[in-house]
Amino acid sequence: METNILMSKWSTPHSTPPFSLITTNLYAPALRLAIKEAEENIDKIASQKDSPSFSNTIAALEFSSERLETIEALLMNLNECCTDDTIQQTVLDMLPELTRFENKLWMNEKLFLRVKTIYDEQTTLNLDSEQAEVLEKYYQHFIRGGINLAPEKKERFATIVEELATLSEQFNQNVLADTNDFTLHITDPSDLSGLTNDAIATAHDEAVKRNMDGWLFTLHAPSYRPFLAFADNRTLREKMWKAYNSRGNNSNRNNNNTIIKKIVDLRLEKAHLLGYDDYASLSLSRTMAGDEITVNNFLDKLLKASLPYARKDLAEIQEFAKKQGADYELQNWDFSYWSEKLKKERYDFDSELLRPYFQLEKVREGIFSLYNKLYGITFTPNPDIQVYHEDVRVFDVTDKGRYMGSLYLDMHPRANKRSGAWMTEFRGQHNVDGNEQRPLIQVVCNFTKPTADKPSLLSFDEVETFMHEMGHAMHGMLSDVHYPSVSGTNVRHDFVEMPSQVMENWCYEPEFLNTFAEHYQTGETIPIEYIEKIRASERYLAGWLCLRQLNFGLTDMGYHTLTEPMADDVKAEDFEHAHMIELLPVVTGTCSSTSFTHIFCGGYAAGYYGYKWAEVLDADIFSKFKSDGIFNRDTAKAFRETILSRGGSIHPSILFRDFMHRDPDQDALLKRCGFVE
């Protein structure tokens, strides 16, 4: 019988996945074999006669499901960035089995007895700080996994967890389907008025690819965002905006309304079973913030600070639009259009003029060079590493000859790839008993594609996005801990965005931009006046953009602080929470919640506030880089050693203090946004 390649040891460079040999039909049988293997490993740990110790129980658990986790990571990552009907169905088929395995693990009473014995005796065991954190993590997994529930409640709890896994995946698939189902086909050149040449060329290439004439626009970011920002045809802007903001809310098989209601109610029931009043209380108990009061106070402080500025932003844009002849009240599909024009007038600056200076390959090399300056690491293309799609490029990362890991970059949109940008990993870092494993990190984006006569040219926002995701990637790549459960980005949820957001700050620094921003045709370095205009416009719409993020955060908390099952339908809940501070008119038929993948399938439930929470930390941390010098090796070394390399091995509050030698300055973000002096 032929061995399943997914169950074999891979004789590839750095034991990277042999994608050319992996077919979709191999995943389900491999996962079932790996589940069986993991269950046998766990049974051996639970049944051993030796007294419980950190080594024979906790450390053993860390590696008991290693093969299963690798195979699952491959399948789930491909489902996000290179999916098809077969992969999607495989995921839906396997999620119940994978969830049952997890439930069985966390409800294993014999195993928990060993973990609890170690937990109760930890003060006598001389555990180091990382081992103590790993032990705490496992103990909490069991508690939050229902180990202390009565038998009948355990059964119900397991059912809830299984249903939630399937519902979240269905939500994700529905959003992708609705994103792909809509296109705007333009055949009249007059409807292209106002659009940039790049946006028009991209739309033409999309039409050609589908054997159509004219121009085809989609809801993927490189097509959708320029259309909303530049298209003069207001009717078509409205059509695009409504389509984007109705995803998951259409009268078709992709409708997410019922799924949201089920997810919210099941999460609440899960929290109640564990003794919490609401899901947010359960979720926040393992974060930096710690509880709802802290989060709500934090959001309220930001809301009070930003709302006057957001109102001012909107009033200025409305007044500007009227002066330009817009005899209507601004709607959602007007805001990007008129704000872009006001920005151009106010700062004598057209953001599209930046694109020629941000060729994707040059930006990538600029980011690589930055990490070399800061940390001494180098990125070398490795064409021998197999990829899952021809768009993907792989780089080996080394530190003075030491292999740190491999970086997969997948930069362009496809119909079988979800929107947005994210970092993940095919394999994490660990180093126990000298057996070191270095990570395989993946960065996925949806940047403007090259056209027939132009390379991929990024907007400034896309440059920031690239920097953001590379911040996550280096958090994973520079990890240097022992145990996989606390390596890399396995940190408290409201800390995970800090290393990525701090990297965005370099985008506004002339010293950095001058290292790579060259005109793709002439080789001219980006003019200093362009950089000055970037910096001058850094606070443009700061109030509005902050309010937008707060809307998302408050919507998230609104769903997850319910203490009773949802009485209203999703649209009512969405209206109550998403629009409680919305300054533009609410549009009938649209619903932001039905495509809110972050909280319904992306792991940010009761955690979306973390983006703003991490901004406070990143604003504070970058102030030190600014003070010491943005390329200061000593500061970078301290940041790497005290934060990036430590992963989740120590509580993030301690990591922050180790670097800054004090607690966070809560006003750092307000100062950066210009809300306080």
- Strand ranges (E), 147-290: 183-186, 215-218
Under DSSP, is residue 520 helix (H, G, I), strand (E, B) or coil? coil
List C-alpha distances in Å: 583 to 198, 313, 342, 527. 32, 11, 18, 37
Q: How far apart are the C-alpha atoms of 162 and 109, rounded to whole Å?
A: 20
Phi, psi at 358, each rounded to 5°: -120, 60
For residue 441, list its beta bridge partners: 407, 425
Q: How far apart are the C-alpha atoms of 402 and 398, rounded to whole Å?
A: 5
CB proximity list for 15: less than 8 A, separation 6 or greater: 9
DSSP letter for 547, please.
H
CB proximity list for 43: less than 8 A, separation 6 or greater: none
Are the C-beta atoms of 321 and 330 separated by less than 8 Å?
Answer: yes
Are the C-beta atoms of 481 and 645 separated by less than 8 Å?
Answer: yes
Q: Kindly write down the DSSP assignment for every residue of 562-578, as one continuous string.
A: -SS---S-HHHHHHHHH
Largest interatomic CA distance in the chain: 82
Amino acid letter for position 556: D
The one catalytic residue among 162, 169, 469, 518: 469
206 catalytically annotated: no
Q: Kindly write down the DSSP assignment for every residue of 417-476, as one continuous string.
A: S-SS-EEEEEE--EEETTEEE--EEEEE--PPPP-SS---B--HHHHHHHHHHHHHHHHH
Q: How far apart are the C-alpha atoms of 619 and 617, rounded to whole Å?
A: 6
| Other residues' Cβ atoms within 10 Å of the Cβ of residue 470 | 24
Which secondary-structure segment (H or E) carries 380?
A: strand 377-381
Are the C-beta atoms of 617 and 191 separated by less than 8 Å?
Answer: no
Under DSSP, is residue 125 helix (H, G, I), strand (E, B) or coil? coil
* Active site positions, annotated: 469
